[in-house]
Chains A and B, each alone.
Chain A
Amino acid sequence: MSAARQLSLEVNGKRHNLQLDIRTTLLDALREHADLPGTKKGCDQGQCGACTVHVDGERVLSCLTLAAQVEGRQVTTIEGLQTADGVMHAVQTAFIEHDAFQCGYCTPGQIMSAIACIREGHAGTDDDIREYMSGNICRCGAYPHIVAAVRDAASRLKTERAL
């Protein structure tokens, strides 16, 4: 076994000092060591998107990232989206309003991905949304509702920014 290392991770604005085997992925560090199980493990091989989180504001896959690689970087997970007084992110609200899930297992990854997709400017058309959300697989096939939710959230966020 690799020697455990002291790693300091900043997740959702909070510092976590963790003793981790150096082989630990960011995904396992979040779920099993930082008490943040919202990020899901689907394939553990980069093929499904369930484990999507933001590192320094950009969407990445936590299953193919070593925890050690994000030391000194800001990690955001689904648990970090709500404001302190419990207000959900516009994309979360849109997913609920549009019924953009069935079992919900892919949903945290979909939402983290959608927020970045909108921020990147890749949510202008339904075709764009489908292309730039393709890294998030939904076994339940909720795709039409996911596209509708992203489209709606994108236009709401645009209006908010314009106000």
Chain B
Amino acid sequence: MNRLTADQARQLAARVVALTQADAAETLVISADDSLTRFADNRIHQNVTETDTRVSVRAVLGNRQGVASTNRLDDESLAGCCADAVAAASAAPADPEFPGLPSPVPVQTPVRAAEAAAGFGPEQRAEVALGIVRQCSSRLIQAAGGVASTLQTVAIGNSLGVDVGMETTSVRATVLAQSDRGGSGWASFFGPDPAGLVADALGDEAATLAQRSEYPADLEPGSYTVVLAPEAVADIVDFLGYLGFSARSFEEGRSFLSGNLEKRIMSELVTISDNACAPESFGLVFDYEGMPKRRVPLIENGVATSVVTDSYWAARTGRENTGHALPAPNAFGPMTLDLMMGAGDSTLDEIIGSVERGVYVTRFHYVNAEDPVPVTLTGMTRDGTFLIEDGALATPLKNQRFTQGAVAALNAVKGVTSERAFFDVMLGSALVPGLLIDGWEFTGQTG
């Protein structure tokens, strides 16, 4: 079985909508080829591929709804799936707040599937792995990481006439370089096709950082000026989206935006939007109800601006539908999947050059939230933490634990880099710069 084209997926969605014996119905089809070559200890140790197509049906009876899904595509299984969705809807109590399925809105679907990603097979992935490994093994450094490609088709149809479909591609590569003298470095790539992926450069970046970070020293816990490389910033922005940018958490008083719209809550250097339609984006331009995504300004020059919605939360709060539905049934509420943080006008090197004494962080590890409203995060630094002295990276440091409110940190931003990069995060992707932040709390370090 092969991955469906956008047209095939739309036709399947329409067929399943028609099969569903309910007042209204919606079908989501996700068809994907996922492949990943993983390496560790300078050799490929896992190499996998998967082809799957899932069909999910939301049946509506009056104001009651139920969902069922399957990856069996024969007629009998699809009919059974539709019947399960109808049975779920008929068991549900009446829900007066359910506004019904959304009506169609025109969606412009750009061509975002890169042909080069389709030809990126196991031999090509191995070649990238080899280029990375050579950069490391020649320096007696151990490389670990992965080279992955995803080819995905998503289509949504409903009985009110929603009929959208789109193919997307993504390629991801990561490199962890480790020396036996405690050095650790990291580099990553995330883009729509393998064109921008230069194996030697990626391997060199990680290996150089590993060499540079050998024999890491202790740091006293306390408050420090930090320069966070873009990958570290991606984790912070990801948690802002998870906890705060949704109309649901906003309405429930659980968001840092609750009661703060139109107020300045972050540094005026901070501008964050959700924008799947930006030309550099490579994800879906509609949400999982088939509604067009639009650019939503969330923080503009530090001022809280708005939140994202889906059909349910738009109706419930009297806002416009911004196209941020997750697949039904969605117990999380609308979510940002394409966060973008505005770039500044200094390079990362210039920003490091401006710091007399501080800490440079390549990336974080295992970040989690301890308190939702201030978005208090704890986590560790990883793969290249350095003291900054007199405007330059100095002594490498052991991995540090931080316990820090993300909103407070973004209110203490003193500089934003001109360089930005895309990262594959918990919620979709994020395009972010590096940041200079004052008063960052390090609360411990690794043993």
Chain A bound to chain B: no
Spell out B's residues near A (CB within 8 Å). none
